[in-house]
Structure 1
Amino acid sequence: MKFNKLFLCLCVGFAFTVETLHAQTCTTIANGDWSDASTWSCTGGVRNPPVGTWNGVELIINHDIYIGNNDVINMSFSSTMSKLTITSGSTLVFRSNSQLRLPSGSQVVLEEGAEIYAANNSRSTLIEIGGNGVWGRDCEAEGCTNGVLTGPGTMDENSNPNDPLPVDLLFFDANLIGNNVQLRWATTSEYNNSHFIIEKAGANLQFSEAGRIEGVGDSDVLLNYSFTDRSPISGVSYYRLVQVDLDGSTEISRTVAIHSSFINAGVKIFPNPSVGGSISLEYYHPEVNSLKVTYMDATGRVVYKEEVTEPIGSRVELGKDINLEKGLYEVHILLDNLVYVKRLLVN
């Protein structure tokens, strides 16, 4: 089993930035030419069509898209792009002498039934990531060909297209739940997977074991895992997974970072418990310009959202029109770029 090697920071201080970046996408809306702006719909003010030094994060192909004759889509200098996803039943076709160049650290993800293929393409490498040829007749990997690629699978700059392209670690993230850090990850395939070791570190980046979760050996279905660290390091802490094969070989995942020092401090909601109506939020941060609040029930379902964009004082009334049922809720509060999580009991 092999992890894709990326670094991801989920610091609370950057939560607003992360949310904004995820909105910076281009998604196909019709079959057609990659270089034609009418093929794409882009959000977050990113460039359309996605070519050159593109300023978005993710591309999503939901149709049959081609790169035209002699067309080189060179996005290798983009500093923001992280992923190209080709969804189930969609195709990306390379016509004569065409090529796609992506930046280092990015991935090409093929969902089940997605395809990439060449139509009389004479180039030696058709897809390059970080300057490394990962698909084409003469790319760097031994035995490399320009044969049809069929999902599910992923490619990064270290991929060997001669392999069956397993999609291994789908995601790995960290979230603050009360005073605990909850780690979640998922795999879409596993081969000889013995177990996962969860490691954590403080600012010195000296990792130590925080726990273990057993793997399933071999699997070709989606598997979800979680681990709760009930004694997180104050301030910035870092987490990573060490995946251990049955033969003892290991792979290390991307690293996630999270800041816990502000959680459950600096904000207060009341009354708590409540009767299901409006609550007041009080906080101790000057010059707050934006506020977003999300209520989630015990199943994780979003039951209410509210946003305030004009400058606000240190207290605001929320949920004037809601009537929550009895139960325990999580209230996720985003003040400018700081995130807080509070629990609300409704009697």
Structure 2
Amino acid sequence: MKTLYTIIISLLCLTSFSATRVAVSSDDWSSSSTWEGSSNIPVAGDSVVIPNGITVTVSNTVDFRSGGATKINVLNGGRLKIDNGKRIRLSANSYVNLVSSNAKILHGGGGNNTYIEVDGTKVWTAGSSSGSITGPAIYPAGAMPVLLAAFSAKTVDAGVVAIEWVTAGELNNAYFEVQRSNDMSNFETIEKINGKGTTMNSSTYTAIDYNVPSGNVYYRLVQVDFDGTTTVYDAVAIDSKKESTKWDVYPNPTNGSAFTTIESANTIATISITDLSGKIVSVKSITTFNYNEKVNVLDGNENLKAGFYVVIIESGKTRQNIRLQIL
């Protein structure tokens, strides 16, 4: 698609030359404490995500005119605050996307001196009054077709790989092609899945490859608009010989239910969910009776607020922590 905002939120193993920077604290853009991880302050070409409950303040002009396209995505409940007289200056093919009616740009006035610029053109200014601008909106208008929030491929059984992706919004999206390659040069389409047309809602897609060749295997998505325009996304790699199935939580991010797959039958496990402070917000015990049994981690009735959590799966002496985002 020509116009997709690509929210890519951390949890993926994508081969890419840009990084995803997720805001985890309401603070200044230039502060490392604002962003998840280390060496984490956004640079030109990154994908920036401001999630629910977070306000990121631009108190000094952000100048990304040199470098790759920067994608700034303000999610539902997120805030991007631009102080009076400050600017966000981005290179060609960049954009700022307000995903929903509760995603906002806050500003303190400044008229035409407070603005967002893409490729030398002002695509948004504060205008004559202070206040806020609410979404859904994208600057420049018509800039993105499909917002790819997550893409992953995972071995779930011998010779079987599950490919999953999440979009945070779609514009004129006809369909996706799931493609596979052994050499990163020659890709073949293994499945075609219809898109949602135009929507600002999150959508989760899954494809299963039952004929995985041995050795290094690469998967990628090709997105096709109704007008035939295509967008090719970066590939993710697995080693079908060496890849061992680990517990995982999917879909991730999620806006409701989430699951994990337990390989072994007759397994007793405890599934706990904590917030980022370590406070337990949900705990349950499960017993599997079948191999590769799908187990419910979230059923949507936990009433958890949007944000980041840690899922802890324990069975015997095995323990695994998995970061989960709830939209």
Structures share fold, TM-score greater than 0.5: yes
Tell me whether 1:255 sits opposite 2:245 in the alignment.
Answer: no
Distance 2:192 2:321 in 1: 31
Amino acid in structure 1 at the alignment position of 2:103: A
Aligned to 2:277: none
Distance 2:144 2:244 in 1: 45
Instruction: Give CA-to-partner distance per residue, 1:27-53, whole Å, 9 cap, x none.
Output: 233xx654577xx55553446xx47x6
Tell me whether 1:210 sits opposite 2:190 in the alignment.
Answer: yes
Aligned to 2:82: 94
Aligned to 2:151: 172
2:294 aligned to which of 295, 298, 314: 298
Larger Rg: 1
Aligned to 2:316: 319
Q: What does residue range 56-205 of structure 1 map to in structure 2 within 5 Å? A: 60=50, 62-68=53-59, 71-74=60-63, 84-101=72-89, 108-112=96-100, 113-116=102-105, 119-123=109-113, 126-128=116-118, 132-133=119-120, 138-139=121-122, 144-146=123-125, 150-152=134-136, 161-163=140-142, 168-178=147-157, 179-205=159-185
1:241 aligned to which of 214, 221, 246: 221
Question: Identity, % of aligned pairs?
Answer: 23
Q: Cα 1:57–1:266, aligned 2, differ >3 Å: closer, same or farther?
A: closer
Aligned to 1:2: 2
Deviation at 1:182, TM superposition (A): 1.4
User: If the length of structure 1 is used for normalisation, what is the TM-score?
Assistant: 0.54
Deviation at 1:108, TM superposition (A): 4.3
Distance 2:81 2:245 in 1: 53
Aligned to 2:259: none
Deviation at 1:234, TM superposition (A): 2.7
Amino acid in structure 1 at the alignment position of 2:183: A
Amino acid in structure 1 at the alignment position of 2:240: S
Indicate if the aligned counterparts of 1:190 and 1:218 stay in contact, CA closer than 8 A: yes
Q: Cα 1:220–1:74, aligned 2, differ >3 Å: closer, same or farther?
A: closer
Distance 1:192 1:26 in 2: 29
Mark the runs of 5 or more structure 1 residues left unpaired by the alignment. Answer: 155-159, 278-294, 307-317, 323-330, 335-347
Q: What does residue range 9-28 of structure 1 map to in structure 2 within 5 Å? A: 25-28=22-25
Indicate if the aligned counterparts of 1:238 and 1:256 stay in contact, CA closer than 8 A: yes
Deviation at 1:305, TM superposition (A): 3.5
Q: Cα 1:229–1:299, aligned 2, differ >3 Å: closer, same or farther?
A: same
Deviation at 1:298, TM superposition (A): 1.3
Aligned to 1:287: none
Deviation at 1:115, TM superposition (A): 1.9
Amino acid in structure 2 at the alignment position of 1:95: D
Amino acid in structure 2 at the alignment position of 1:72: T
Mark the runs of 5 or more structure 2 residues left unpaired by the alignment. Answer: 127-131, 247-263, 270-287, 299-310, 323-327
Q: Cα 1:196–1:166, aligned 2, differ >3 Å: closer, same or farther?
A: closer
Aligned to 1:281: none
Task: Decide which structure has greater strand share.
Answer: 2
Q: Cα 1:89–1:236, aligned 2, differ >3 Å: closer, same or farther?
A: same
Amino acid in structure 1 at the alignment position of 2:80: L
Deviation at 1:228, TM superposition (A): 0.8
User: If the length of structure 2 is used for normalisation, what is the TM-score?
Assistant: 0.57
Deviation at 1:254, TM superposition (A): 0.9
Distance 1:102 1:195 in 2: 30
Instruction: Give CA-to-partner distance per residue, 1:243-274, whole Å, 9 cap, x none.
Output: 33344x1312312222223346799xxxx655
Instruction: Give CA-to-partner distance per residue, 1:108-142, whole Å, 9 cap, x none.
Output: 443322122652244496345xxx34xxxx34xxx
Distance 2:245 2:143 in 1: 50
Q: Cα 1:88–1:257, aligned 2, differ >3 Å: closer, same or farther?
A: closer
Distance 1:275 1:220 in 2: 40
Deviation at 1:203, TM superposition (A): 0.9
